[in-house]
């Protein structure tokens, strides 16, 4: 917290210097200008959700919370008052799919079509890739890529999600199936590439957040949540909180 505060102050100074000429007073411009160092990327003072007047306010707010502390899942998933729940769920799912790219990148190095010829988690199910006209048994890495690509297309589809400010009820219903599919990436990584999963999870807390998210908004049935992360992490999670 202390460190963060320091950063905040220096940022204010830097931004105000740049902005001084253009406006009266120290207006904070939240920008990643070319030349920004990686550690300074998006490190600007938080903006209150009420003050965000952009159409992308929900995304901004979620990303801001994640950047502040990815482990504080309760806060990240706490919906602001008077927020449309459909949009809230939608923006969270976008963020999940986006961050899952990180897991996919790691899997690419280890999960080869020769070794993981099917998308499996436990031995119980073989998942068929829904990206094709007739669902087929893609190798795990292709399943992962296709599922993420398909989710990106669906979540950005002008037909189902033309606006990021209000979302039709029928489109909100589509979120559940996206959740179900992308969850299999977690489960495959957990059961077959455990080291990658752990490394990724320790950095991002993504699977825990995802599990809590789908549970909170009832987007997946509990039976499908096969990664035992919740029980495992429950104890330290509580102590952290």
Partner 1 sequence: MKTTGDDTLLRLVMEDTSVVQNGAQLGLQGGPAPNVKPNEENNTKAQYSIPGILHFIQHEWARFELERSQWEVDRAELQARIAFLQGERKGQENLKSDLVRRIKMLEYALKQERAKFHKLKYGVELQQGDMKPPQLDDSNIDTQLDSDQSYTSVTKATWKQGRQLLRQYLQEIGYTDRIIDVRSNRVRTLLGLNNNAEQDENVTSGQVNGNESNKRASETQGRRTPAKKTQPSCLTEAMMFDTEAAVMANLDFLSSADVDMEDDDDMSDDVELEATDELEDDVKAIKRRGKIDNMGDDVDAEAMEVLNELNLLSETENQHQDMKDAGDWKGLNFQSGGPGRRPLALNDDENIDTGLGLGELAQLTVNNDAETSYDISSSKEAFRKTWGAKYTLRSHFDGVRALCFHPTEPVLITASEDHTLKLWNLQKTVPAKKSASLDVEPLYTFRSHNGPVLCLAISGSGEHCYSGGLDGKIHCWTVPNSNIDPYDLFEPDVLNATLQGHTDSVWGLAELHSQQKLLSCAADGTVKLWAPHSKMPLLNTFTSDQDGIPSSVDFVRDEGNRIVAAYNSSNCIIFDTETAKPLVRLDSGVNNKQINRVVCHPTLSLTITAHEDRHIRYWDNNTGKMVHSMVAHLDAVTSLAVDPNGLYLLSGSHDCSIRLWNLDNKTCVQEITAHRKKFDESILDVAFHPSRPYIASAGADGLAKVFV
Interface mask (CB under 8 A) for partner 1, residues 11-50, using x and -? ------xx--xx------xxxxxxxxxx--x--x--x---
Closest CA to 45 of 62, 64, 59: 64
Q: Does 95 bind partner 1 (CB under 8 A)?
A: yes
Among 103-111, 116-124, 185-193, 214-222, the segment contacting partner 1 (CB under 8 A): 103-111
Q: Does 67 bind partner 1 (CB under 8 A)?
A: no
Shortest CB 239 distance to partner 1, Å: 30
Q: Which CB sits closer to partner 1, 139 or 227?
A: 139
Q: Please identify which residue in the block is written with the tokens 């219903």.
A: 173
Q: Does 123 bind partner 1 (CB under 8 A)?
A: no
Residue 108: CB atoms within 10 A of its CB come to: 12
Q: Does 102 bind partner 1 (CB under 8 A)?
A: yes
Instruction: Kindly report the backbone phi and psi dihedral angles of residue 119, in degrees, each rounded to the nearest multiple of 5, phi listed first.
Output: -85, 105
Closest CA to 61 of 76, 45, 41: 76
Q: Which CB sits closer to partner 1, 10 or 36?
A: 36
Q: Is 140 exposed, middle or buried (0-12, 13-18, 19+ CB in 10 A)?
A: buried
Shortest CB 132 distance to partner 1, Å: 6
Q: Does 146 bind partner 1 (CB under 8 A)?
A: yes
Measured CA to CA, the distance from residue 187 to residue 201 in angstroms comes to 12
Helices (H), the chain: 2-19, 57-68, 73-76, 85-110, 140-155, 169-172, 175-192, 194-204, 206-216, 229-240
List interacting residues with partner 1 (CB under 8 A): 17-18, 21-22, 29-38, 41, 44, 47, 54-56, 59-60, 94-95, 97-98, 101-102, 104-105, 108, 113, 129, 131-132, 138-139, 141-142, 145-146, 148-150, 152-153, 155-159
């Amino acid at each position: 917290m202390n460190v963060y505060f320091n950063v905040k102050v220096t940022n204010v100074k830097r931004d105000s210097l740049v902005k001084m000429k253009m406006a009266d007073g120290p207006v904070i411009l939240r920008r990643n200008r070319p030349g920004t160092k990686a550690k300074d990327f998006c490190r600007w003072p938080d903006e209150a959700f009420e003050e965000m007047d952009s159409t992308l306010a929900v995304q901004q707010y979620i990303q801001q919370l994640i950047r502040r502390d990815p482990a504080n899942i309760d806060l990240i998933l706490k919906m602001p008052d008077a927020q449309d729940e459909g949009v809230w769920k939608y923006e969270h799912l976008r963020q999940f799919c986006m961050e899952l790219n990180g897991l996919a990148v790691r899997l690419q190095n280890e999960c080869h079509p020769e070794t993981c010829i099917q998308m499996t988690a436990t031995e119980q199910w073989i998942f068929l890739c829904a990206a094709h006209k007739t669902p087929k048994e893609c190798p795990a890495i292709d399943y992962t890529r296709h599922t993420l690509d398909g989710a990106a297309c669906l979540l950005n589809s002008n037909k189902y999600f033309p606006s990021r400010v209000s979302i039709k009820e029928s489109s909100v219903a589509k979120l559940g199936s996206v959740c179900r599919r992308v969850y299999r990436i977690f489960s495959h990584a957990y059961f077959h590439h455990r080291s990658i999963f752990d490394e990724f999870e320790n950095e991002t807390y993504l699977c825990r957040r995802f599990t809590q998210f789908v549970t909170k908004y009832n987007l997946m049935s509990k039976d499908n949540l096969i990664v035992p992360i919740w029980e495992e992490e429950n104890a330290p999670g509580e102590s952290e909180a």
